């Protein structure tokens, strides 16, 4: 396959070359004769990597599963997802991990990986499973994986291989019990996690940071990485109030002043994920927490780029390169020979409105309903096959587990 007239970032600068693909891999960059996919008018990005999704499979497939969720990913320009462990039952044993692997191998149409859940007494299962990453929930959230005991957290920090990241949902349960999910609850938990990580000399990732202060506190330890999500950058409390129970998410979306501070501190954010957490409307009305986000995350960032709020290099590093590096995903995140042929062709001039009715996710709603955006994934190549064309999925390829 050839991708002709491709404009993409190479060595920090936009270049225009053809991309020669052989099988599933990028073979060469240059100028080649022959027909192929014409990328004229588009900017070509590496396929995005979303390191934080909840695909609800097994246990809650009425609202998402590996098939619908990975279709949503492809539609949003995302070619690799890492699934979280707080299913019912949770992914805390080798048996549960193997169950997920079997389901994903049959259903997923993009590549995938799995975070493993840390419990109070599953140290032996973690050693048996040998996962590429571990997830610790410092406070209560969706599911039953809360682990507020600092001694147990520290034991996991000490025992899990230091070169593999531990992802932390950082909300302090004591403060939440006293005053709710305030910024202080998140900030105190981040400070504790960074301190324990420094003491144990290990790498951690702070999941879904919602304030600039969280990023600042995390960075007091040199091996802390900070994740944020689009809803903390593009939504604020007044908008959330209009959504009623549909605006419920953990951690909560903060006020406008906090949002602006966070934009000013984006240099301290290492990667952007969606925390795609779909629930059906009736579940949201009952208080379920979480937003769908796979089909809007890139488009929101492209719109911000068009508004000159953010640089394209930042988008590529935080949504492609850094997730691959942080989670040890080889051969992804860059457009270069020897890398997997995962590409997304974006039309930066495409103006469109977000409509849940046109989305792939089963949940049937979005917090961005009716928002006008400029910029969209028009084509996607996954493992050397054109799978998205004109914004529509035209072929389903078979996804594989990434080697974390």
Which residues are part of the catalytic machinery?
275
CA distance 269 to 261: 13
* Dihedral angle computed from the Cα positions of residues 382, 343, 336 and 48, in that order, rounded to the nearest 10 degrees: -100
CA distance 346 to 358: 18
H or E, element range at 191: helix 183-200
Which segments of 21-149 does DSSP mark as H helices, in order?
66-75, 94-107, 123-129
C-alpha 271: how far from chain center: 8
Give backbone dihedrals phi and psi of 18, rounded to 5 degrees, phi first: -85, 150
Which segments of 276-364 does DSSP mark as H helices, in order?
281-285, 297-306, 312-316, 322-326
Do residues 292 and 229 lie in contact, with contact meaning Cβ atoms separated by under 8 Å?
A: no
CA distances from 119 to 12, 90, 159, 230, 268 (A): 42, 10, 13, 29, 30
Of the candidates 47, 103, 64, the one whose C-alpha atom is nearest the C-alpha of residue 386 is: 47
Of the candidates 333, 312, 387, the one whose C-alpha atom is nearest the C-alpha of residue 7 is: 312
Do residues 18 and 396 lie in contact, with contact meaning Cβ atoms separated by under 8 Å?
A: no
For 220, the token pair is 């007091």
Question: Tokens 């301290």 — which residue?
Answer: 268
CA distance 107 to 103: 6
Strand partners, 380: 344, 388
Strand order from edge to edge, sheet including 224-228? 116-117, 134-137, 166-169, 204-206, 224-228, 271-272
Please, which residues have CB within 8 angstroms of residue 343's CB and are 6 or more apart in sequence? 3, 19, 44, 45, 46, 47, 335, 380, 381
H or E, element range at 185: helix 183-200
CA distance 288 to 118: 23
């Amino acid at each position: 396959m050839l991708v002709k007239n491709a404009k993409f970032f190479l060595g920090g600068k936009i270049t225009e070359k053809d991309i020669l693909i052989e099988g599933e891999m990028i073979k060469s960059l240059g100028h080649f004769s022959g027909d192929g996919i014409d990328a004229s008018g588009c900017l070509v990005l590496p396929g995005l990597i979303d390191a934080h999704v909840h695909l609800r499979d097994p246990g809650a497939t009425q609202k998402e599963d590996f098939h619908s969720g990975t279709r949503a990913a492809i539609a949003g320009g995302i070619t690799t997802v890492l699934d979280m462990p707080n299913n019912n039952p949770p992914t805390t044993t080798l048996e549960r991990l193997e169950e997920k692997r079997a389901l994903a191998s049959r259903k997923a149409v993009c590549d995938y990986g799995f975070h493993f859940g840390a419990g109070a007494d599953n140290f032996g299962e973690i050693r048996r499973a040998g996962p590429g990453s571990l997830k610790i929930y410092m406070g209560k959230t969706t599911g039953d994986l809360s682990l507020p005991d600092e001694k147990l957290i520290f034991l996991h920090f000490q025992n899990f291989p230091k070169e593999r990241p531990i992802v932390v949902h950082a909300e302090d349960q004591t403060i939440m019990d006293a005053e709710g999910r305030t910024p202080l609850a998140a900030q105190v938990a981040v400070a504790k996690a960074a301190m324990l990580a420094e003491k144990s000399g290990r790498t951690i990732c702070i999941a879904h940071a919602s304030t600039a202060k969280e990023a600042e506190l995390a960075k007091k330890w040199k091996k802390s990485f900070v994740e944020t999500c689009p809803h903390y950058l593009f939504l604020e409390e007044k908008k959330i109030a209009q959504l009623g129970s549909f605006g419920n998410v953990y951690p909560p979306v903060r006020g406008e002043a906090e949002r602006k501070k966070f934009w000013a501190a984006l240099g301290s954010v290492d990667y952007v994920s969606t925390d795609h957490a779909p629930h059906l409307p009736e579940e949201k009305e009952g208080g379920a927490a979480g937003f769908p986000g796979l089909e809007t995350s890139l488009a929101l960032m492209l719109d911000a780029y068009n508004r000159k709020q953010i640089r394209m290099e930042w988008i590529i590093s935080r949504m492609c390169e850094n997730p691959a590096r942080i989670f040890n995903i080889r051969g992804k995140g860059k457009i270069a020979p020897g890398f997997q042929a995962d590409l997304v062709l974006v039309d930066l001039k495409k103006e469109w409105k977000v409509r849940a009715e046109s989305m792939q996710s089963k949940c049937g709603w979005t917090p961005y309903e009716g928002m006008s955006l400029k910029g969209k994934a028009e084509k996607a190549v996954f493992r050397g096959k054109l799978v998205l064309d004109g914004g529509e999925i035209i072929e389903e390829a078979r996804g594989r587990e990434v080697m974390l």
